[in-house]
Chain A
Amino acid sequence: MAKRVGMEVSIAAAEAVKQANVDVISAYPITPQTHIVEHLSEIVANGEMDAEFFCVESEHSAMSICIGSEATGARSFTCTSAQGLALMAEMTYIASGLRLPILMIVANRTLSAPLSIWNDHSDAMMIRDCGWVQYFVENGQEVYDHVFISYRLGEDRNVLFPVIINMDGFVLSHVIEPIELIEQEKIDQFLPPYQPLYQLHPDQPITMGAFALPAIFAETKKAQEMALRASMGKILEVWKAFGDMTGRYYQPVETYRAEDAETLLLTMGSIGETASVAVDQMREEGRSVGLVKIRLWRPFPFEALKQATLHAKNLVVIDRAVSVGGPGGPVASEVKAAIYGEPIRPSVYNFAAGISGRDVTPFDFIKMVDKAEIEIEEGNKEGFEIYGVRE
């Protein structure tokens, strides 16, 4: 019988890495990711897990070690935040191009400057196009579950992509939540040892990482693009299998009281839970408001998003990052692009909220819905603003 225990989400993440029988762990400490690596190093030091653990000299090397070890066929793990992710950004693109199914947890944090250790999604948005499968999870249980889901998915021969689990820094990483732990036997069944398609070994001397001339680069890029798009089927299949095992079923886009709603809030990450409280309050007041949550950021779930949103009149997208000098928030741009070709579609009003750890309460969501409804009513149908800024 599955055990339900209270534990810090970072500890739960580390426990999942242990249960996933990861072979190589390589990381560099950065707040708020530290608790994950600290706990992993303890687990390895205590002999509870047979893995190689390296606390290296930079995030760039942390990812580079994972790339090297994954290329030999070893299941590899790293985790980071913000500046660390920025430093390893170069290598994230390469890990995808080489199709190495590494798992990385990003404890999302603001990118400097000014320096700030608090939570938003500016780090994740920086590497939006790096070619990894990217999840945004909502709570500790989802973090724990997605470690197994990610390896099973990434290592599938029809997928072979690295995977990022984005979890909000502090808001998730440093809080204690009830986590339902899965029995090891079940995990071993769900996640067999990694069988690489190609691996570095003298028995088959392959060349991995050749450069491409313009005459063939575009073909390699299309192969990568088509493969990541095609992984959608597998993503759904793995979630289904996981749900059948645990009773916890996940979807790329989830809705809450959204079916008949005139106005929809759209969130990504942990603020979804707060938003649902706001939705309940507004529903009690008789307002027609619902919630849409994006869990799968890449490959982007175009169809699921359309299904969830097209019927609404207003779509209030809450971004956790700003595309400075650009179209507003990155999630809103994606959402707008997804519904652009539809003859009947909601107006999209965009807020960047919770920038660098600023609290977003249910009251704030209500205020944003109020504001968006008024603005759209008055004809400002595609507005963007950073919420709650003192003028």
Chain B
Amino acid sequence: MTKPESEWTWKEIPVGNVILEPGNASVYRTGDWKSFKPILNKELCIHCGLCYIFCPDMAYNLDAEGYFISDLYYCKGCGICSKECPTRAITMVVEEE
């Protein structure tokens, strides 16, 4: 795993400052930013996937039961999924400390 920038010595910098590990920024927890988190009411969910397709943070993943579930590690709490859900199955609730 790539170590944080403050730990690199100049000798370790790859030629031309290239980054060789694709998508390694996914270690970064953007979920810390949120003050609201989405809660899914599975009874109302029609599995349409709009929450998934409209998420700017790639936070939604399909689970084994066929529900799109928000990954709180990445969810920034923007509330788009809740707003766009055609059956109002997603509510935004205050994130507890």
Contacts and interface: CB of A to CB of B under 8 A. Distances in A.
Tell me, yes or no, whether A binds B: yes
Nearest to A218: B10
Nearest to B5: A216
A290 B50 CA distance: 80
B26 interface: no
A207 interface: yes
Interface in B4-42: 5-6, 8-20, 22
Contact of A198 (B10, B11, B18): B18
A337 interface: no
A226 B15 CA distance: 12
A213 B19 contact: no
Contact of A160 (B5, B16, B20, B22): B16
Nearest to A198: B18
Contacts of B20: 198, 204, 206
A97 B18 CA distance: 10
A206 B20 CA distance: 5
Interface in B38-73: none
A343 interface: no
A167 to B, nearest CB: 28
Interface centre among A205, A218, A219 (most CB of B within 10 A): A219
A223 B17 CA distance: 9
B10 A99 contact: no
A206 B19 contact: yes
A324 interface: no
A389 interface: no
A210 B19 contact: yes
A206 B5 CA distance: 18
Contact of B15 (A197, A205, A213, A215): A197
B52 to A, nearest CB: 23
A208 interface: yes
A208 B18 CA distance: 5
A60 B6 CA distance: 34
Interface in A182-232: 197-198, 204-210, 212-213, 215-216, 218-220, 222-223, 226-227
Given A213-B5, A215-B5, A215-B6, A220 B22 contact: no
Interface in A78-93: none
Q: Which 5 A-B pairs have the closest CB atoms?
A: A99-B16, A216-B5, A207-B19, A222-B10, A223-B13
26 contacts: A97-B17, A98-B16, A99-B15, A100-B16, A197-B15, A198-B15, A198-B16, A198-B20, A206-B20, A206-B22, A207-B19, A208-B16, A208-B17, A208-B18, A209-B17, A210-B17, A212-B17, A215-B5, A215-B6, A216-B5, A219-B9, A219-B12, A219-B13, A222-B10, A223-B10, A227-B15
Interface of B: 5-6, 8-20, 22
Given A160-B15, A210-B17, A219-B9, 17 more contacts: A97-B16, A160-B16, A197-B15, A198-B15, A198-B16, A198-B20, A204-B20, A206-B19, A207-B22, A208-B16, A208-B18, A210-B19, A212-B5, A220-B10, A220-B17, A223-B13, A226-B10
Interface of A: 97-100, 160, 197-198, 204-210, 212-213, 215-216, 218-220, 222-223, 226-227
